[in-house]
Amino acid sequence: MSDARDLYIFGTGGHARELAWIAQEAGWCVAGFLSPAPTAGERLGAVEIFPEDNISDLPDHSCAVIGIGEPAIRRKVAERWGACVTWVTLCHPTATVARDAVLGSGTVLFPQTVVGPCVRIGQHAVVNTGASVSHDGEVGDYALLGPGVRLAGHVSVGAGAYIGCGAVTRGGHPHAPLQIGCDAVVGAGAAVVKDVSPRSRVVGVPARPMRT
């Protein structure tokens, strides 16, 4: 008999499928996906898709995680359904986390991620495959670090920020961390060497604001 606990995943796209794989690797049993309007009997692989509006039919405070990449949508799902489920922190077995690091509920660490000493990661954040957050860093709620992102020490990423694949940063200082603002977007492969303003978009090496 399996001792795996049931887990429900909001979303049915590629990100949700990856979370299902991570969950299974971490010893969870994916009991269902949750979607706004699935057709009757719809399944994703062997797993049933349930309507979000029927969440009250699930066991009380079922364990759940949000399998949606877009930070703004993740925020909306968390705010709408947070009182109905228990958000879990999901870590692939190959993720490496320092003992004094703090991970918020609903956050997901993909394979081969590294979270260093004195790092704080908020709720419902995503640290994708091979990304690393060095010592004394901070990643805000709903932020997403794409595959291969490298945050040097003393870097602060604001809530809802999106850091594209392979982007890197210089290190900050204990009393002056490098700041990537809330809801900012850093393009894939960018090299961030100075602060990024909230809600701005930067690309390139070194990273500069996108032309409009």
Has 32 been labeled as part of a binding site? no
What SS3 class is residue 190? coil
Measure Cα distances from 21 to 15, 61, 91 in Å: 10, 22, 11
Give, rounded to a whole angstrom, the gap between the first and last alpha carbons of the chain. Answer: 58
Kind of pairing, strands 155-157 and 138-139? parallel
What does the alpha-carbon distance between residue 63 and residue 86 come to, in Å, rounded to a whole number? Answer: 5
Phi, psi of 17 (to 5 degrees): -65, -40
Tokens read off for 161: 């920020």
Strand partners, 202: 186, 209
What length does the chain have? 212
Q: Which of 61, 92, 124, 135 is catalytic?
A: 135
CB 145 within 8 A of CB 160: no
Q: Is residue 124 among the annotated active site residues?
A: no
Tokens read off for 57: 């039919």
What does the alpha-carbon distance between residue 127 and residue 107 come to, in Å, rounded to a whole number? Answer: 8
Catalytic sites, residue numbers:
135
